[in-house]
Chains A and B, each alone.
Chain A
Amino acid sequence: DGGITQSPKYLFRKEGQNVTLSCEQNLNHDAMYWYRQDPGQGLRLIYYSQIVNDFQKGDIAEGYSVSREKKESFPLTVTSAQKNPTAFYLCASTYGTGLGEQFFGPGTRLTVL
């Protein structure tokens, strides 16, 4: 089955730690995205990538980093510089340049202890 997988489903981070969230897709999509979702708010864009080895900052990129070494994979690192990282993180992808339908993974819930 084609789709987007995210791991882990739940992640706990101690203060000062960096953690990496995984996102993999087998849809052959070029564009991939990371969003953050907080209660009562819409999704906010963290980073996006339209092609391998290239990515752009979204609205709330501070404290996060990404890489796009393979078309299928777009991992997100939440660094210790992110002061309020507790949230639900969603990965998405679209076909081609990103103007089409967007598909989402199941999400990772990150909690800071």
Chain B
Amino acid sequence: KQEVTQIPAALSVPEGENLVLNCSFTDSAIYNLQWFRQDPGKGLTSLLLIQSSQREQTSGRLNASLDKSSGRSTLYIAASQPGDSATYLCAGRDNYGQNFVFGPGTRLSVLP
């Protein structure tokens, strides 16, 4: 059964730093992968989707990459801002299943 881990579980950085969040899958046969942001008590907001034929996606200060051979994805946030403070979740769909499997999330705090 596919399982997802996210490292670190929590991260606190000063404003302006560049940072990387990591996501790993036990089964490297990933079909596509999506990164989300969740604010406390809210639903998930989609950030980036890496489709099956892609290796990375970029949106503004965010860049996500997927290495299918190792079953790992990273989310790079450039020039972090206090408004980036939230929990970031990755979710992957493998080549066999119909549905996404979610990681537990990384809680990010960006200090002004």
A40 to B106, CA, bound (A): 10
Contact A98 B98 (CB under 8 A): yes
Interface positions, chain B 1-47, Cβ under 8 Å from A, are: 4, 31-32, 34, 36, 41-46
Known: A42-B104, A42-B105, A99-B93. A48 touches B43 (CB 8 A): no
Segment of A66-74, A78-86, A101-109 engaged in the interface with chain B: A101-109
Q: For the complex, would chain A's binding face be called helix, strand, loop or mixed by DSSP majority?
A: strand
Interface residues of chain B: helix, strand, loop or mixed (majority): strand
Residues of A within 8 A of B44 (CB): 43, 90, 92, 104
Question: Are B42 and A48 within 8 A (Cβ)?
Answer: no
How many chain A residues sit at the interface, stated as a range, is 20 to 34
Bound-state CA distance A106–B39 (Å) is: 10
Selected contact of A42 from candidates B4, B32, B34, B93, CB within 8 Å: B4
Query: Judging by beta carbons under 8 Å apart, are A101 and B105 in contact?
Result: no
Instruction: Give bound CA distance, A6 to B45, whole Å.
Output: 15
CA A42 – CA B38 in complex, angstroms?
Answer: 12
